[in-house]
Structure 1
Amino acid sequence: MELYVVNTGLFKLDGGAMFGVVPKVLWSRTNPADENNLCTWAMRCLLAVDGDRVVLIDNGIGDKQDAKFFSHYYLHGDDSLEKSLRKLGVGFNQITDNFLTHLHFDHCGGGVGYGSHGQYVMTFPRATYWSNDAHWKWATIPNPREKASFLEENILPMQDLGQLKFVDMNSKSLFPGFDFITVDGHTDKQMLPKIKYKGKTIVFVADLLPSVGHIPLPYVMGYDTRPLITMEEKAKFLEEAAREEYVLFLEHDPVNECCTVKMTEKGVRLDQTFRLDEI
């Protein structure tokens, strides 16, 4: 199996929302804010190529919404989903699987576009789009807290156009060497891919751990629906990651692609940061 970084662009979110109850004087050390208290975040996807199978994990924010919507998120940077895949020599029609960690707009918006007559079309016409039954129900009948993050135009066309499938939640494996774990603190049944690669275990940590600045346990997003559960899940996962020497692939960290963690007297802390191609 080969793994490649797919950068889909940068956006901004409120720093206080991204770090919950942690004071700005602390979180701004790792994630400095602009004059509007906004921090820059990546939308970094991962491409896994295994024989004839070409799997993209998440797909960024897309471009379907109107200017008012995007004005809230200050999209910037030179990267896009199409441009990054093109650099790898991969076309949209070569993607066989799009594995979606969860269905918030910044993770799945790039999977659906508009056709020549304004109709919804799937960005990856040959791909199976993977979610799970519990999260699909959570996203399509959203609670008021998350409703603004679950956009029908990003989600329903997958099913309407016949390209949606649900993973096997018993095996928790997409195919040999590509497993996943589920966590419930951020949103119900978020899926984190766990991939064997070059003798290491790579975990795509998605919104369980948005950046290296979120490693300390209290650093939990205000966006999380169950923050105390996030803390429990982080504690268990980070202890395992330190013990098993996992490589953590960071979807939202604006600087760091990957990191490792280690156990210290103060608990689990950052060990090393590096690019994926340095493995």
Structure 2
Amino acid sequence: MKLHTINTGFFKLDGGAMFGVVPKSLWNKVNPADENNLCTWAMRCLLIEEGGKLILVDNGIGDKQDARFFSHYYLHGDDTLDRSLAALGYHRSDITDVLLTHLHFDHCGGSIVREGDRLVPAFKNATYWSHSRHWKWATAPNDREKASFLKENILPIEASGQLRFVDAQRETSELLTDVIIPGLTCRLVNGHTDAMMLPQLQYRDKTLVFMADLLPSTGHFPIAWVMAYDMFPLTSLQEKRAFLEEAAAGGYVLFFEHDSRTECCIPESTEKGIRPGAGFRLADL
């Protein structure tokens, strides 16, 4: 198995929204805001190469929205999904599977592209994988979350015939095993949004977990530092506590989708609770 980091660029979000009820005097030390109270965040994806499969976990914000939409998010940096794939010798057409942790626009926007007046899959030869419960949640969104679930990112996947559900023909479980390939597990968490998936696998004698939005960054390690974007913050708090205790005990490698500086770390137990260890690149594992 080979794992590759796929950087798709950076964007900005309000610091208060990203850190919830935590005072700015605290979170600003961790991720300093600009003059507009905006912090920089990565959109870092993962490519899994195994057994003839090329599995892309999430795909960033994409480029099909209009200028008004992008004006809110201040995209910057030189990285793009296509450029990152090309650096590895791959093209979008080589991707066999796209595993979507959840359907918020900054995680799945690259799934669909515009071809003239048509919205079509960006990965023409890939199967797109979601969770059936999350799909229902995203396609009939609540008023608070509907701005994150953009129909142009979601509905064309189903219309293409390339959509599959990881939980098809499985009993309801918070742990889905052998997803797409043997050994790839998806943990389900429900605080950020219903049925978000955290891909987990064994890599170089370590357990590696793709954190999606359970832990967007190393700055979110303190249990009470929960995003205002989370639908069920108390559930997030409980999920974080249980996961971090397990991860620290097991020496898990955590892969961060949104941390602008730290790609991976191994959590450590300290007198202040579980905190991130020294950061490192996936390529250096």
Instruction: Normalising by structure 2, report the TM-score.
Output: 0.96
What is the letter of the counterpart of residue 224 of structure 1? D
Matches within 5 A, 1:146-165: 146-165=145-164
Alignment match, 2:77: 77
Corresponding residue of 1:12: 12
The alpha-carbon deviation at position 107 of structure 1 amounts to: 0.1
Residue equivalent to 1:31? 31
Deviation by residue 1:17-47 (Cα, 9 ceiling, x = unmatched): 0000000111111100000000000000000
**2:177–2:183: 8 Å Cα contact kept in structure 1?**
no
1:232 and 2:231 aligned: no
In the other structure, the counterpart of 1:205 is: 211
Superposition map of 1:90-109 within 5 A: 90-109=90-109
Q: Alpha-carbon deviations, 1:73-95, whole Å to 9, x = none?
A: 00000001111101111111110
Q: Return structure 1 stretches of 4+ with deviation > 4 angstroms.
A: none
Following the alignment from structure 2 to structure 1, what is the Cα–Cα distance between the partners of residues 12 and 178? 33
Q: What is the letter of the counterpart of residue 248 of structure 1?
A: L
1:90 counterpart SS class: coil
Q: 2:270 maps to which residue?
A: 264
Deviation per residue, 1:144-187 (Å, 9 max, x gap): 01000000000001100101000025444312121110100000
In the TM superposition, 1:160-239 aligns within 5 A as: 160-168=159-167, 170=171, 171-174=176-179, 175-239=181-245
Kindly report the root-mean-square deviation, in angstroms, between the aligned alpha carbons of the 2 structures: 0.8
Unaligned runs of 5+ in 1: none
Deviation per CA, 1:181-218: give whole Å up to 9, x if none: 01000000000000111111110000000000000001
Q: Which amino acid aligns with 1:257?
A: E
The 3-state SS of whatever aligns with 1:142 is: coil
Identical positions, percent = 61
Which runs of 5 or more residues in structure 2 are unaligned? none
Tell me how far apart the structure 1 counterparts of residues 204 and 103 of structure 2 sit (CA, whole Å).
30
Residues 213-251 of structure 1 deviation map (CA, whole Å, 9 limit, x = unaligned): 000001100000000100000000000000000000000
Whether the 8 Å CA contact 2:104–2:148 is kept in 1: the answer is: yes
Deviation (angstroms), 1:14: 0.1
SS at match of 1:85: helix
In structure 1, how many angstroms separate the alpha carbons of the residues matched to 2:119 and 2:277?
A: 44
State the match for 2:134 in structure 1: 135
For 1:29 and 1:51, the matched residues in 2 are separated by 44
Letter in 2 for 1:20: G
What is the SS of the residue equivalent to 1:240?
Answer: helix
1:89 alignment partner in structure 2: 89
The 2-side partners of 1:173 and 1:140 are apart by 26
Contact 2:199 2:209 in 1 (8 A): yes
- How many Å apart are 1:262 and its aligned residue? 1.2
Give the residue type in structure 1 aligned to 2:149.
F
Amino acid corresponding to residue 26 of structure 1 in structure 2: L
Q: CA deviation at 1:123?
A: 0.5
1:64 Cα offset (Å): 1.2
Instruction: Calculate the TM-score normalised by the size of structure 1.
Output: 0.98
